[in-house]
Amino acid sequence: MFYDSAMNPLINPIFLHGCVASIQFLFLIVLFITWVWKRFKLDQTLVPKQSSGCLFYKQTLFCSLVLSLFNLVLCFFNNFYWYRNGWTDEKIVTLLNALLGALVWLFVSVYLHTLVSNSSTGSRKYPSVMRVWWVFFFTVSCYSLVVDYVYYKKTQDLVSMLFVSDSVSSFMGLFLCFVGLSYKTEEESQSNNLEEPLLSSGVSRGGVASTYENASFYSLLTFSWMNSVIAKGNKKTLDLEDVPQLAKIDSVKEVYPVLLNKVESLGNGGNQITAFGLTKALLYIVWKDVAITGLLALVTSLTSFVGPYLIEAFVQYLDGQRDYKHQGFVLVAAFLVSKVIGCFTQRHWYFKLQQAGIRARSAVVAMIYQKGLTISGQSKQGNSSGEIINFMAVDAERIGDYAWYMHDFWIVLVQVGVALWLLYRNLGLAFIASLIATILVLLANIPLGNIQEKLQDDLMKSKDKRMKSTSEILRNMRILKLQGWEMKFLSKVTKLRDEEQGALKKYMYTLSMTSFIFWGAPIIVAVATFATCLFAGIPLESGKVLSALATFKILQEPIYNLPDSVSVFFQTKVSLDRIATYLRLNDIDSSAVSKVSRGSSETAVEIINGNFSWDSNASSNPTLKDINIRVNHGMRVAVCGTVGSGKSSLLSCILGEVSKISGSVKVEGSKAYVAQSAWIQSGKIEDNILFGREMDRERYEKVLEACSLKKDLEILSFGDQTVIGERGINLSGGQKQRIQIARALYQDADIYLFDDPFSAVDAHTGSHLFKECMLQFLDSKTVVYITHQVEFLPAADLILVLRDGRITQAGKYNDLLSSGSDFMDLVGAHKEALSAIDSMGTTVDQEQTGSSKKNTNDDQNGKSDDSSGTKAQLVQEEEREKGRVGFSVYWKYVTTAYGGALAPLILLVVILFQVLQIGSNYWMAWASPVSASDPAPVTSSTLIIVYVALSAGCALCVLARGLLIATMAYKAATILFHQMHLAIFRSPMSFFDSTPSGRILNRASTDQSAVDLQIPYQVASFVFAIIQLLGIIAVMSQCAWQVIVIFIPVAGMCVWLQQYYLPSAREMSRLVGVCKGPVIQNFSETISGSTTIRSFDQQARFQDTNLKLNDDFSRPKFHAAAAMEWLGIRLDMLSSFTFAVFLIFLVSIPEGTIDASIAGLAATYGLTLNNLQGWAVWTLTNLENKIISVERIFQYSSIPSEPPLIIESNRPDDQWPSQGEVDIRHLQVRYAPHMPLVLRGLTCTFTGGKKTGIVGRTGSGKSTLIQTLFRLVEPAAGQILIDGINISTIGLHDLRSRLSIIPQDPTMFEGTIRSNLDPLEEYTDDKIWEALDKCQLGEEVRSKEGKLDSPVTENGENWSVGQRQLVCLGRVLLKKSKVLVLDEATASVDTATDGMIQQTLAKHFTDSTVIMIAHRITSVLDSDMVLVLEQGLIEEYDSPTKLLEDKSSSFAKLVAEYSMRSSSSYENLAAT
């Protein structure tokens, strides 16, 4: 009895603590009111959030939490005390004091947290109410300590619990007093703020310095170096610049050179590398991490067996068999220490492995990229860009992910070995049955592993084919929409997906069988072991049974993970094989061209006896034969010849792109190259022109002037800062080509190689470019140019005429005219075209020429009107959802398949499994005697029969669960795939213009893969983990319900920690998704422009860009992994604390209060508590991260669609259009709501059956008019009528299928000649042959082995550009529409072929309306009408004859310009 009524109440500890309890209660109410008032005031004033400047904030918060926990533990000790000694009113006071203390300090912690979350800029002090409380608390604690001492002296009766409580409170109170009475001054905080920029000045632009690199040991141990990132993520949405930089050792810039050297040393220069060699090289860069994680894995595995080892002794202790005093507390300490060590080692094991994986992935991606820069053209033909992108997006990712599974194979052996030893110790020779059962289960892996590897391989191959096709379709979506073919090509992708789904379905059901076998594994092993004990007469005591059950539970994880490990091992092996095969492909032969620096001789380019072939194996039939040329410095060399004669190949052999069979090539000086098909990087126009060089403003301005880009840049809203869409999508063909030329000019190289760049620009600009660039800007340079325009030939010092891969003639213009027929054929066709101008009676006098020149200058410098509309870039930054993933996303996903009907079934099966599993273990614990001397409650046979029955029920539930999940997952993946692809294919062209294909491909590959194979299992795992967790809590609470009092606050803290962590984790995961797009897009651009990159010797700069993008991708990935372990380690500590309190409770209660077997069962379940809690949070976080893929797919499934393909109520009749009259009324067009108008009010009529030519300088709106005719762009105002029908009122398919077009960029798709001419399979072979003959390709195709089934490679690379244009002509000849549009269709062919195309069209489209955009003036001279556009307005519209009669008309000036440049004036100009 503590309370003595005679004693002065002021020195009675019990009375004192009663008073303190009352004051605490009052303080709690005051604090609550203060908090509510502050919250209300804060909401009213909307104070901006910022980090608190309060002194020692973290330590104060920690102090409060410790005091709360300490009081909670005291409360429990009091509770246990009652069990033993009964309880009194005084003890209730003590208990109440402890309970209120716990609540008060918990509330103080919450109050401090809200304080820091919402602190305003002014306050640096803690609130007065807090400081007063801390001073009071310290004073009372010190006084209480003195009273305890006085009481002890007086009564010799020390109340130990109160003494400990008051000692801890005094110590903590001292610290809180110090904090409360000190605070930062305003000046200090400002000076701290001033220091911050200086501290971070060493950080590279766009990020925070690495917190990992400079962290202390304690910080590394507890992952506290992540605190700043997680705290920031709670205050704002994280952006990439908020994520710290990688440590040096993790940066790909450090890792990649090491891997490259190792690969080269192992593979004789890199080209002989095997998958095994690549593995060795990768291990070399991560071996330290592998060794450390191996050690950590071993320690983790050994500590996991401490629990099962001690459980029997624990049950015996609870049953009353005590070996020594305090044995119970020693056992609790052993349990706790092993748990804590296991937690720390496991967390660091997982983190280190992921760190190694990220490092390996980055290095592999860098190697794949480097290979993309050096791979030869022939090798590239065998691997499409889609496949190569897959190496980077999927295979490298898989190699990085394999790190997780690296130690699984040997760890299984350690775990099985320790488990068998434990079983032998408990159950004697029955362990042999366990061993045999385990071996049988492991052997079942072999056939399953083989099946999974094969299915995985099939899945990857079919995915590659689908991605290859999708990539090609996205690149050419404009053509598909113009032709009305997009739905046919969607069905092609769907067909490839069906193939992939076949493999996916088999793979999923195999996976569910695997999971059935391995969830059943511990059940099989347990049944085999206990049955053997029964038959061998080995007594089963509950302690031994529980130890065995705990051992089987630990064995379950490695055995369950083993099939995963086997499957991932084979997947990774497949990926390593694929990457090694790719790395072994032939590179461009760097020795093919002998490169010499400028100044050693007069020769710039020399080829002696050169034989070259694109196919290095086909040396019998080279592409170029017996090439002998010598070009001196300063010479201008023109290359001409018919389509397919080998002109581009000649430039390629100077660049070293073609395999050299024999001969020698020497190039002296630096090179610049302009490709025939413009290659433009997405990014600013300025960056495209500078192309890695420093800005020299004077030279830059001269280059813009020479390439007539100044006026274009004035029209663009952002000038040269305009961001170009992917592949220059928001530029016209001419603008792209001129930017390419500007890039070459700015480089100031010695040798310039031009592959017919003037064909893509109009006649006026072409002549300006030739004069300004070739004759003036590059006056002193060596220039080799291919051209189809005969008028550019006289200016050349040397003309090379090619035919069938040979140089048939070489010499000056006039010399060649008098010799040989090849050159005469080309010039003859041109002269014929010119005579058309003469026949129209146009005289070109000097005055006219002068006015034309003057017009050119005016044209270049004239300011355009200010464009209406707000300014905005076409390509916007990738959208990403912010904040938490809405419940609607989960709900939509779960209800996608069968309306969600399978979800409740899966839930039911999982609950049933958990009930049966707990039931079977409960049965074994209850039905086994505690010791050999106790009687058994049931017979041995009953014991085993009931256990087998319950276990069989468990196994069946696992099978049902696996099959139901596979069915649901497969169905959901299929539906989501079709929804997204339909939305993408039906989206308007503006979507493709403003969305880089890398973004779309990322969703079609990475996100779709996640939906196929990861998300369904993540959802199921989370549900499973939660139900198992509830099962454990139920078992532990059934044994000792008081533990719920601990569970509730700990569970609350776990949820709070998880909620605190999730915003950062979620945003980092989203950043990983967003940062992957640029890596893929940059790679995709590099592959398509590798020739240009190599010709400028810019490989190193592009590799640097790739390394930077790679690190930007790794940064959020690395920190997301660390954040996961940050959370894990804290949750582990909380669950270890819960488990320890539970065990203390069990050893503290009086003997015999509860059944020792059931208490042992609860302890056995408690052993897995932290693993399961970690697993539940990990699966939830992973699910939140992965479900973002579903969110991204839903995002693309709801893209606004184009108008309907067919409007049933308004379908034109089958004969429409019968006349072909096109009536344009007040037409206004803009590409996007935020962009300026491109066409600004056109009104004109194209008469049916007539030929109309459209001319105008580049960017005047010619191609936009055509796009509006096909409704790729919808009019902003006005309308277009065809035969009286407003085209905006009918279905898109009805419109586009009745019109024909030969587009500006000739496009062919991978497949055959037949599938390229007739993708909709509407025509017979005879019709196709007829069309081929008409377009002069009949002989060419007949000479090929496959005839109509001759292969066409990706982008039609194995056909020349001219031949591709002829195939486009073949398509329209097959379709034979009433309205035909030619969009600069003859730009890529020589004059003779152009003439042939014009004759073919004139012959077969006599009664059709032909609308023709042309750069060759001769092409439009025989038109019935000519429309001249200027800056989106009609400048002139009349017959060519009338326009030519008016010498001041723009058209007359264009014709005069053309005639002038076609005479020998260029030759004269060149001579001056």
Q: What is the pLDDT of residue 868?
A: 35
And the tokens for 719?
Answer: 């000038």
Between residues 805 and 4, the one the model is more confident about: 805
Which residue, 1154, 802, 872, 1425, is CA-closest to 83? 1154
Q: What is the pLDDT of residue 181?
A: 64
Q: What is the largest CA-CA distance in the chain?
A: 138
Give CA separation, 315 vs 540, 590, 1038, in Å: 14, 76, 17
**Is a pLDDT exceeding 60 seen at residue 638?**
yes
Is residue 1448 a contact partner of residue 774, using CB atoms and an 8 Å limit? no
What tens digit of pLDDT does each residue of 884-904 get? 677 888 888 888 888 888 889
Q: What is the pLDDT of residue 989?
A: 82
Cα–Cα distance for residue pair 561/1215, rounded to 1 Å: 66
Give CA separation, 57 vs 60, 489, 942, in Å: 5, 62, 62
Give the mean model confidence (pLDDT) for residues 334-356.
88
Between residues 678 and 1118, the one the model is more confident about: 1118
Q: What is the pLDDT of residue 1148?
A: 73
Q: How confident is the model at residue 485 (pLDDT cuts 50, 70, 90)?
A: confident
**Is a pLDDT exceeding 60 seen at residue 201?**
no
Give the mean model confidence (pLDDT) for residues 1016-1026.
86
**Is a pLDDT exceeding 80 seen at residue 262?**
yes
Mean pLDDT of the chain: 77
Between residues 368 and 12, the one the model is more confident about: 368
Q: Give CA torsion, residues 1391, 1397, 1401, 1403, to 10 deg.
A: 90
Q: How confident is the model at residue 5 (pLDDT cuts 50, 70, 90)?
A: very low
Strands 1237-1246 and 1379-1383, bridge-based pairing = unpaired
Tokens 């060596």, residue located: 782
What tens digit of pLDDT does each residue of 524-569 get? 777 888 888 888 877 777 777 777 777 777 776 676 677 677 778 8
Is residue 217 a contact partner of residue 1079, using CB atoms and an 8 Å limit? no
Tokens 């009953």, residue located: 942
Which residue, 867, 872, 854, is CA-closest to 1453? 854
**Is a pLDDT exceeding 70 seen at residue 355?**
yes
Give the mean model confidence (pLDDT) for residues 816-823.
70
For the ranges 12-16, 435-439, 672-676, 767-771, the lowest mean pLDDT is seen at 12-16
**Is a pLDDT exceeding 60 seen at residue 48?**
no
Cα–Cα distance for residue pair 285/359, rounded to 1 Å: 8
- What DSSP line would sit under 1419-1452, residue for residue? HHHT-SEEEEEETTEEEEEE-HHHHHHSTTSHHH
And the tokens for 1018?
Answer: 């993540």
Give the mean model confidence (pLDDT) for residues 115-129.
57
Q: What is the pLDDT of residue 830?
A: 63
Which residue, 730, 751, 455, 733, is CA-closest to 598? 751
Which residue, 958, 1255, 239, 510, is CA-closest to 1265? 1255
What tens digit of pLDDT does each residue of 567-615 get? 788 888 888 888 888 888 888 877 778 888 777 778 888 888 888 887 7
Q: Which stretch of DSSP H or E encloses residue 684?
A: strand 683-684
Between residues 200 and 296, the one the model is more confident about: 296
**Is a pLDDT exceeding 50 seen at residue 196?**
no
Percent of all residues in the chain with a pLDDT value above 70, rounded to a whole number:
82
Q: What is the pLDDT of residue 908?
A: 92
Q: What is the pLDDT of residue 160?
A: 59
Q: Which stretch of DSSP H or E encloses residue 190?
A: helix 186-199
Q: How confident is the model at residue 912 (pLDDT cuts 50, 70, 90)?
A: very high
Q: What is the pLDDT of residue 122?
A: 40
Q: What is the pLDDT of residue 909?
A: 92
Q: What is the pLDDT of residue 882?
A: 56
pTM metric for this prediction = 0.67
And the tokens for 315?
Answer: 């049950």
